Structure 1
Amino acid sequence: MAEPLRVEAGELSAEEILDALLDGRRVLVEAEMMGGTHRVSLRHDGTTFYCDTPTTLHKHTEREEMLACIRKMGYAKPEPE
């Protein structure tokens, strides 16, 4: 198993995060939420994408759904408009 990729929210683009997941790496994101800093675990098992937060486990089956989640939750750096 590959070593997890540890990043801070906003450090990588959504595509870079997704590429790491598709390469079989777990991505651990340090993110500000609920008044503190928490670790979010993003992973892909070959079929389903998982976004494990301190309060919820989100599952996505489609690549575009996972990209939208990464962007919406603020895990990726903002994209230029």
Structure 2
Amino acid sequence: MTVEHFTLICDNVPNDVVLTDFGPRVIEVVKVLRRRTELGLWQSRSLLDRLPATVLEDVSQERAEATVRELLAVGAKAEVREQR
């Protein structure tokens, strides 16, 4: 009897977007958060009070990177974290 082992490789690992600093342009960051997360104004603003905050969970690499790029463009600091 032979035993075979397989390693599954997944190219589409879910990602999180974590906001670590909102920078000097709070209003612009809130606008990006509202657009990308579909949260309301109050919910988007309250995320800034709980840094580091996970603003998107379980999204594709492309969506996570696009969100981070947009946040960086308005002066915030954010990063993509792979879910393990």
Give the TM-score normalised by the residue count of structure 1. 0.30
- Output the TM-score relative to the length of structure 2: 0.30
More strand by share: 1
Higher relative contact order (CA 8 A, sep 6+): 2
Q: Looking at secondary structure, tell me which structure has more helix per residue.
A: 2
